[in-house]
Amino acid sequence: MTERLVIIGNGMAPGRMLEHLLEAAPDRYQVTIFNAEPRVNYDRIMLSPVLSGEKAFEEIVIHGDGWYIKHGITLYKGHRIVAIDRVAKTVTSDHGVTEPYDKLVVATGSVPFIIPVPGTDLPGVLTYRDLDDVNAMLLAAQSRARAVVIGGGLLGLEAAAGLKEQGMDVTVLHVMPTLMERQLDPAAGYLLQKAVEARGIKVMTKANTKAIVGDGKVEGVELADGTIIPATLVVMAVGIRPNASIARDAGIDTNRGIVVDHGMRTSDPDILSLGECAEVGGQVYGLVAPLYEMARVAAAHLAGDETACFVHSDTPTKLKVTGIDLYSLGDFADGDDREEIVLRDAAAGIYKRLVLKDNRVIGTVLYGETGDGAWFNDLKKKQTDISEMRDTLIFGQAYQGGSPLDPMAAVAALADDAEICGCNGVCKGKITGSIVAKGLTSLDDVRAHTKASASCGSCTGLVEQLMSLTLGDSYNPTAVQPMCKCTELGHDDVRRLIKAKGLKTIPEVMQELQWKTSCGCAKCRPALNYYLVCDWPDEYADDYQSRFINERVHANIQKDGTYSVVPRMWGGVTSSGELRAIADVVDKFEIPLVKVTGGQRIDMLGIRKEDLPAVWSDLGKAGFVSGHAYAKGLRTVKTCVGSDWCRFGTQDSTGLGIRIEKFMWGSWTPAKLKMAVSGCPRNCAEATCKDIGVICVDSGFEIHFAGAAGLDIKGTEVLGLVKSEDEALEVIVALTQMYREQGRYLERIYKWAKRVGIAEIRRQILDDAGKRKAYYERFVFSQKFAQVDPWSERVSGKDKHEFRPMASVGYAEAAE
């Protein structure tokens, strides 16, 4: 007979418990869930990337509505349980729904701790626990004003980083002398503070909050020494407490949390508890790994396995702030009964500390270089005697045994029971065994079957190395495909060899790289032409016969064989003279359709091929250049009217858009490049779905990139905030040049960014000023030799190049 299982709470722990239970006993229970939040189960670990703009909520959903329907689970969204009747064995929600149970699981999580100071009830004071809190912070961040985060622990720093990414002026107040003092020693805390401050976030330690001040809303935070920090938003992130009140009211034993045994059973044998609300062995937990262990044990008991037992293990701490690498584990306090090994590299920002007791690792703190964290964790867990490797231990696994190992060999040397994914407690053997047994070939497959790297993602590199070790040459994370039938080489290898071998003509490339055909094809010739133009701008002569017909005639071919012509209008701005010139061309050549484009220009459609030279001649006399509506290059920079005209405008978006377009036009890129500049967060120019976009805010210019609004729909990633137009231009140009140098031909910028990694792009363009400047200067250099339209000297003074609109049909035209 089917039993009735009711679950209070729908967080990550009960969600994982249900996965285990459905696998072990799929037909045993009729499941009903009451969730206080009005939504499905999602990955709370990834709320920080949602706040920073790196992810959307849809990307962190664990179980969508379809999952509950598939498994016949009833989910009450937005229902908070107000009573548990243990005699009648029912629960009742605040909406009046009462459900009976045979087994009940209480997974109510935790509640934020609010420091008891005046002003915490003022509008503008928020906590940071769930998606509602994140949405409230995102709404508050639209003001681009001042935020104060109280608390310098994990959540506080992640909240501060996210709010900074959203354009706010952020100050972190922390009562202790160093940040994250529970997870880091003072030396690592110092390095962390420097890294946080380098991001433009103010940090005040030894800051004791006295009150939150304001008249009807938050206006500031007053410290014990009388200092007042101005603020329009205050985020409390000083800790959490188990949410045990519903169990306490029902007469279930509670202490700090809901007291459970090592089988996750409460004082009522028909009621279990797990997650942040549960207290097992006198401890409550806030990190996901022990919560998932609770889920495994609870599911086993519900399925009838009475032997399952919760086992405590230390869980590594990692900060989810892009570009800050830290790892801590175990006991790293000072003491007479222990010794330490420390490695500092000030230039590289690296700090490593191992705490030893009786020649065994008991604590680890890593900052800046965390790759050996899994190995140190394994040594600690197994209580390995490290006497024989004492002198080289701090250098990591690769330096044990006499000579350095490469990273792959170091991973291969890990034992099968070495933990790879701390969040989900997945060991090396489970990953490699699943790859072999289930024939897994992709990272997504491994995540689906083992959960490794499916939570915070920090172990993804290790998982990919294990896949490479297990699958050998058959595994290639980038799934390299040959450019075309003419070669076995992929785009990345061709481009690398062009530079390495100094190949500067298409025939030279084909000869040296052993092309299978005499002259290439419609796929490879345009790609080779682009790579040579980009890599050798001062030496390679653009081969027009290797370009698509659209690029050769400066017009878009239409389905009836006629063409459309789009003159460039800088930033979407035009004049009566330009409009008259367009009207004259339309009348003279009897152009049948004139249409305003989505890029704020005018498109003339239905032009005969033989008329194109004359059409462009007349437009050129009026000062027009091509809008490159056909180009694998910069097409448009869409703008709104900005601060000159709009009452909401914060900056001169039109002027910046025109400046960007005039600076960058004529540059070829791997695929089409569309930009936009919006004068305020209302985003009238739709900058958040473009390849590169700018949102003007009071404090400067927020740079976005990697959006899409075509076959794929994707919002942009936030690169960062800069203060001036000059900085904005330099960042955008450097970003474009990085894409030009690394992108594969016809690969849009959002696909390139996914392949390369948002964090790596941000590191090179925003965090490394020298690298950014180098990219910028290479772009400027290449522009001196850009081959553009024959009348371009009217605008830019560039050299005239031969215009060949009627060249004979070439390789690329066949592809059109």
Residue 680 is assigned to a ligand binding site: yes
β-partners of residue 571 are: none
Type of residue at 104: L
- Evaluate if residue 723 carries a pLDDT over 80: yes
Token pair 């695929």 in the structure block, residue: 671
Q: What is the DSSP string of 723-742?
A: SSHHHHHHHHHHHHHHHHHH
Give the tens place of pLDDT for each residue, 6-50: 999 999 999 999 999 999 999 999 999 999 999 999 998 889 888
Q: How far apart are CA 265 and CA 252, in angstroms?
A: 11
> Please, what are the domains in the chain?
3-110+242-302 (3.50.50.60), 114-238 (3.50.50.60), 405-473 (1.10.10.1100), 629-788 (3.30.413.10)
Model pLDDT, residue 810: 31
- Evaluate if residue 798 carries a pLDDT over 60: no
Model pLDDT, residue 371: 80
What is the residue-averaged pLDDT of the chain?
88
Type of residue at 90: T
- Evaluate if residue 416 carries a pLDDT over 90: no
- Strand segments, DSSP code E, in 608-653 are 634-639
Give the tens place of pLDDT for each residue, 624-652: 988 888 889 999 999 999 999 999 999 99
- Evaluate if residue 275 carries a pLDDT over 60: yes
Distance of CA 513 to the CA centre of its chain: 37
Q: How far apart are CA 502 and CA 511, in angstroms?
A: 13
Model pLDDT, residue 631: 87
Give me the count of residues in the chain: 816
Token pair 């999580």 in the structure block, residue: 109
Residue 646 is assigned to a ligand binding site: yes
- Confidence band for 793, pLDDT divided at 50, 70 and 90: very low
Give the tens place of pLDDT for each residue, 429-446: 889 998 998 888 877 778
When mean pLDDT is compared across 314-328, 631-645, 664-678, the lowest value belongs to 314-328
Q: How far apart are CA 376 and CA 383, in angstroms?
A: 10
Q: How far apart are CA 548 and CA 683, in angstroms?
A: 34
Q: Which residues contact 266 (CB under 8 A, 6 or more apart)?
A: 106, 247, 252, 253, 258, 259, 260, 272, 273
Contact indicator for 675, 634 with CB cutoff of 8 Å: yes
Phi/psi for 418 (5° steps) reads -70, 135
Residue 534 is assigned to a ligand binding site: no
Model pLDDT, residue 775: 93
- Confidence band for 799, pLDDT divided at 50, 70 and 90: very low
- Confidence band for 408, pLDDT divided at 50, 70 and 90: low
Token pair 């030799």 in the structure block, residue: 785
- Confidence band for 569, pLDDT divided at 50, 70 and 90: very high
- Evaluate if residue 783 carries a pLDDT over 80: yes
- Confidence band for 794, pLDDT divided at 50, 70 and 90: very low
Q: How far apart are CA 542 and CA 816, in angstroms?
A: 20
**Across residues 151-162, what is the average pLDDT?**
92
Q: How far apart are CA 70 and CA 528, in angstroms?
A: 49
Give the tens place of pLDDT for each residue, 66-87: 899 989 999 999 999 999 999 9
Please choose, from the candidates 469, 475, 478, the residue with its C-alpha nearest in 3D space to the C-alpha of residue 431.
Answer: 469
- Evaluate if residue 267 carries a pLDDT over 90: yes
Please choose, from the candidates 631, 566, 551, the residue with its C-alpha nearest in 3D space to the C-alpha of residue 804.
Answer: 551
Residue 423 is assigned to a ligand binding site: no
Percentage of residues of the chain with pLDDT beyond 70: 93
Give the tens place of pLDDT for each residue, 330-348: 887 777 888 999 998 887 7
Cα torsion angle, 148, 151, 157, 162, sign: negative
Please choose, from the candidates 131, 10, 29, 16, the residue with its C-alpha nearest in 3D space to the C-alpha of residue 81.
Answer: 10
Which tokens belong to 511? 């000869």
When mean pLDDT is compared across 170-174, 230-234, 510-514, the lowest value belongs to 510-514
3-state secondary structure 324-370: CCEEEEECCCCCCCCEEEEEEECCCCEEEEEEEECCEEEEEEEECCC
Model pLDDT, residue 648: 92
Q: How far apart are CA 19 and CA 272, in angstroms?
A: 17
Distance of CA 615 to the CA centre of its chain: 46
